[in-house]
């Protein structure tokens, strides 16, 4: 018979854990959390591309638009890290211990941060299968709780989710995030007391990120024809003024929309997109630019490269 008078069996000296996980962030766990797309950016997780970009002869095999120049892409990625540093953002690196796939640099797809930890992505294609392993290891090293690792038949990429406010997340279902994955993400958010709205993306969309960019608590830019009406309706119901990006050419060829919001009405965006820059500036958005033209050949840019690790806390 167990001796219940000992602390091990709940007797004197037993210390019950009564705090919520979210209350342990910054003490037991690392001080990283996100509940906004636009509050001041504190820390990011990125992957410095290297040998995995050598000998990419067939872009389709690596899900790229064209084979990038590895040296140039590497230099541009270093410039991106420097740009973050100049804006006071702390930069962490994935640092895989083995050769990753060519798309490992697109860290945004592999994680979605919440106030209580991370929902780990599960990429939709066999080409990217396993990239989440290296991100999971690095996040664990940083003390970030993995509150969900999408599994079963589910696929989910972090670029298919966006915070509308600290109590609501928009989840895109389409090519990269399937019904099972979207349901798992929504269920996990519900457990955290956070509502979600799943919207179906058009066949032409890769990610929700490619159709919606939030630059302030009440201002979003969207891709004309790139979103269902229901998504625009959800944005407006949540207090957003919805504006449309001015140039489909800049979105397609310059990735002008593929930016990261540094703070309310301040973004870090790809250089060489004057129409997009003008449209942002006209509504009071400060634009910091960096050249990532070579990254665009791999079908991504700044937003795709950046795992958002921590933003300044916002009240719910």
Q: Is residue 12 included in any domain, yes or no?
A: no
pLDDT tens for residues 41-91? 999 999 999 999 998 888 899 899 999 999 999 999 999 999 999 999 999
Alpha helix segments (H runs only) across the chain: 21-24, 70-86, 131-141, 179-191, 229-237, 248-253, 274-282, 293-296, 302-305
Q: Label residue 2 by pLDDT band (50, 70, 90).
A: low
Q: CB neighbours (10 Å) of residue 124?
A: 21
pLDDT tens for residues 233-261? 999 999 999 999 999 999 999 999 999 99
Q: Is residue 11 included in any domain, yes or no?
A: no
* Three-class secondary structure of residue 159 per DSSP: helix
β pairing state of 111-114 and 90-93: unpaired
Q: Is residue 37 included in any domain, yes or no?
A: yes
Give the total number of structural domains in the chain: 1
The pTM assigned to this predicted structure is 0.96
Least Cα distance to 305 among 88, 151, 120, 107 occurs for 107
pLDDT of residue 5: 84
DSSP conformational letter for 40: P
Q: Is the pLDDT of residue 231 over 60?
A: yes
Q: Are 307 and 158 in contact (CB under 8 A)?
A: yes
Least Cα distance to 265 among 213, 209, 224, 313 occurs for 213
The rounded mean pLDDT for the chain is 95
Q: Is residue 100 included in any domain, yes or no?
A: yes
Q: Is residue 154 included in any domain, yes or no?
A: yes
Cα–Cα distance measured from residue 54 to residue 140, given in angstroms and rounded to the nearest whole number:
29
* CATH code of residue 55: 3.75.10.10
Q: Is residue 264 included in any domain, yes or no?
A: yes
Q: Are 283 and 134 in contact (CB under 8 A)?
A: no
Cα–Cα distance measured from residue 124 to residue 122, given in angstroms and rounded to the nearest whole number:
6
β pairing state of 195-200 and 168-173: parallel
Residue 231 CA, distance from chain mean position? 18
Q: Is residue 14 included in any domain, yes or no?
A: no
Q: Is residue 306 included in any domain, yes or no?
A: yes
Q: Label residue 102 by pLDDT band (50, 70, 90).
A: very high
Q: Which domain holds residue 267?
A: 20-311
């Amino acid at each position: 018979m167990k001796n219940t008078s000992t602390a091990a069996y709940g007797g004197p000296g037993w210390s019950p854990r009564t705090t919520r996980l979210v209350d342990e962030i910054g003490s037991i766990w690392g001080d990283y959390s996100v509940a906004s797309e636009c509050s001041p950016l504190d820390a990011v997780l990125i992957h410095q591309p290297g040998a995995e970009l050598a000998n990419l002869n067939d872009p389709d095999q690596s899900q790229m638009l064209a084979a990038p120049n590895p040296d140039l892409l590497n230099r541009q990625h270093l410039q991106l890290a420097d740009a973050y540093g100049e804006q006071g953002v702390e930069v962490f690196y994935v640092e895989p211990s083995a050769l990753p796939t060519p798309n490992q640099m697109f860290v945004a797809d592999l994680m979605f941060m919440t106030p209580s930890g991370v929902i780990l992505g599960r990429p939709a294609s066999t080409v990217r299968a396993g990239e989440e392993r290296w991100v999971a290891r690095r996040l664990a090293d940083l003390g970030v709780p993995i509150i969900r690792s999408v599994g079963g038949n589910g696929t989910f990429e972090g670029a298919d989710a966006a915070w509308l406010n600290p109590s609501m997340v928009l989840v895109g279902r389409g090519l990269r995030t399937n019904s099972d994955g979207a349901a798992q993400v929504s269920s996990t958010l519900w457990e955290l007391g956070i509502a979600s709205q799943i919207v179906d993306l058009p066949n032409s969309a890769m990610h929700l990120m490619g159709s919606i960019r939030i630059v302030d608590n009440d201002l979003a830019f969207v891709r004309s024809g790139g979103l269902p009406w229901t998504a625009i309706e959800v944005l407006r119901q949540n207090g957003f003024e919805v504006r449309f990006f001015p140039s489909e050419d800049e979105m397609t060829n310059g990735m002008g929309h593929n930016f990261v919001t540094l703070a309310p009405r301040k973004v870090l965006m790809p250089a060489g997109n004057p129409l997009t820059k003008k449209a942002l500036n006209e509504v009071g958005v400060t634009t910091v630019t960096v050249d990532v033209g070579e990254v665009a050949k791999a079908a991504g840019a700044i937003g795709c490269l950046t795992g958002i690790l921590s933003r300044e806390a916002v009240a719910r």
